[in-house]
Amino acid sequence: MVTLAPEGARAPLRTLVVMPLATRRGGAEEQLYQLVEHRREAGIEPAVAFLQDGPTVAWCRAQGVPAFVVEAGRARQPHRLAHAVHALGRIARDQRAQLVVGWMAKGQLYGGLAAAAARLPSAWLQPGTPAGAVPIDRAATALPARVVVTVSHTVDRAQRRLLPRRPTTVVHPAVDTARFDARRIGDPPAVRRRLGLPEHGPIVGAVGRLDRWKGFHVLLDVAPRLLERHPDATLVLVGGPHELDPSYAEELHAQAARLGLGQRLRLVGQQPNPEEWMQAMDVVVHTSQDEPFGMVVIEAMALGKPVVAAAEGGPAEIVTPGVDGLLAPHGDRPALAAAILLLLADEQLRARLGEAAERRAREFEVAQFARRFGAVLAAAAITPSR
């Protein structure tokens, strides 16, 4: 583990963040937005180099943060890789960066090489669970880094299994608790009317990209049992297809047809207001396999919603079963159905878990994340390489 530098007045740390993506897709991208917005709390002065163009470039510039586009292509193209690394090194020197920060493994692959060429220290964010069989995880880990910032203890353990072993530390991602504030959004009946959802009967739902490892098919499998006990219930899935697995959404539609779910299932696609859809739900379900963290879990908890999540990965670090949510073994359909039915049958239990969940979510506020992340970067900038 990395040792944090003592807090105190210091000049902002000039950092160059190397970010592969320039669109707002998931948790890792959301962390970058949060760090940029709260850079003063973090004590950093960032510039961001994107490896492709997209809307986040303009957003950073609008925030007053220097943003650059270095079209990297594929890492397997040596001449493109060399050109991109050279360009990143030049940007780091021009911005007088004190530390290069790779965002995700691909960001470290390019940023780590650029840092070495520019004789600068580097660090990187590992938001996913790495695997030794994945070439980019191995390549990113092979490059020198003062610290690898992981998003959960689950990810941290997996990262430390890769060779060569690099110093790691856990910084949990944050949730904008102001955005996921039930009092701001409105009471569930009003939200249901706004969204065109049934005003009566329980609503069980899940939010996330329609990607196979997210396990939405597991939730659909238990739907008939839920409807047997609660025929007026509605199941709502919020999320769009993943570009790397577009057929999964079609498979979910086919599965729903085979199960005869009809109007009891709403597949509403990607939505700009997931907080409203979750506010309309009585129970939020999270069925991902080996989830690195589980930001949706925190978002639902911030709304005061009882959550049923898989008993592994990040959610198992977030939820204390029976205190602020429930856990069920991943893929265990009977256990998942039993947990959901328990909540639907007991309004007082839902209320008690929801109140505790809201308190738990406050431990993941954005300003706290920014301060912690900034302290880790500051320590990495002055810690000798190992």
Across the range 90-115, mean pLDDT stands at 97
Q: Note the pTM of the prediction, 2 decimals.
A: 0.91
Based on the fold, state whether residues 272 and 329 are members of the same structural domain. Answer: yes
Based on the fold, state whether residues 56 and 138 are members of the same structural domain. Answer: yes
Residue 131 belongs to what H/E stretch?
Answer: none
What per-residue confidence (pLDDT) applies to 34? Answer: 95
Q: Which domain holds residue 216?
A: 182-364
**% residues pLDDT > 90 (the chain):** 90
Based on the fold, state whether residues 63 and 187 are members of the same structural domain. Answer: no
* 153 CB-contact burial (10 Å; exposed 0-12 / middle 13-18 / buried 19+): middle
Each residue's pLDDT tens digit, 60-75: 999 999 999 999 877 7
Based on the fold, state whether residues 158 and 228 are members of the same structural domain. Answer: no
* Position 310 in a domain: yes
What per-residue confidence (pLDDT) applies to 357? Answer: 98
Average pLDDT in the chain = 94
Q: How many domains does the chain have?
A: 2
pLDDT confidence bin for 5, thresholds 50/70/90: very low
Q: What count of other Cβ atoms lies within 10 Å of the Cβ of residue 89?
A: 22
CA 144 to chain centre: 25
Across the range 191-220, mean pLDDT stands at 96
Each residue's pLDDT tens digit, 112-165: 999 999 999 999 999 999 987 789 999 999 999 999 999 999 999 999 999 999
Across the range 3-16, mean pLDDT stands at 71
What per-residue confidence (pLDDT) applies to 26? Answer: 81
Give which of 175, 118, 182, 170 is closest to 144, Cα–Cα: 118
What per-residue confidence (pLDDT) applies to 9? Answer: 56
Based on the fold, state whether residues 137 and 238 are members of the same structural domain. Answer: no
Based on the fold, state whether residues 273 and 377 are members of the same structural domain. Answer: no
Strands (DSSP E) found in 23-154 = 44-50, 67-69, 99-103, 122-126, 147-150
What per-residue confidence (pLDDT) applies to 385? Answer: 55
Based on the fold, state whether residues 119 and 204 are members of the same structural domain. Answer: no
Does residue 335 have a pLDDT over 80? yes
What is the rounded CA–CA span in Å between residue 201 and residue 214? Answer: 26
* Position 82 in a domain: yes
Q: Is the peptide bond before 292 cis (omega within 30 degrees of 0)?
A: no
Based on the fold, state whether residues 163 and 194 are members of the same structural domain. Answer: no
**% residues pLDDT > 70 (the chain):** 97
- Strand, coil or helix: what is 37? helix
* Position 8 in a domain: no
Based on the fold, state whether residues 148 and 49 are members of the same structural domain. Answer: yes
Does residue 223 have a pLDDT over 50? yes
Q: Which residue has the higher pLDDT, 73 or 296?
A: 296
What per-residue confidence (pLDDT) applies to 384? Answer: 66
CATH of the domain at 358: 3.40.50.2000
Which of 233-255 are b and which e, b meaning 16 or more Cβ less than 10 Å from the residue's Cβ? bbbbbbbebbeeeeebbeebeeb
Give which of 169, 84, 166 is closest to 377, Cα–Cα: 169
Based on the fold, state whether residues 85 and 41 are members of the same structural domain. Answer: yes
Based on the fold, state whether residues 233 and 202 are members of the same structural domain. Answer: yes
Across the range 87-91, mean pLDDT stands at 97
- DSSP 3-state helix, strand, coil percentages of the chain (rounded to 5)? 45, 20, 35
- CB-CB contact of 203 with 238 (8 Å): no
Does residue 1 have a pLDDT over 60? no
Look up residue 330 and give its two tokens.
């991943």
Across the range 246-255, mean pLDDT stands at 95
Does residue 325 have a pLDDT over 80? yes
Based on the fold, state whether residues 268 and 154 are members of the same structural domain. Answer: no
* Position 323 in a domain: yes
Does residue 15 have a pLDDT over 60? yes
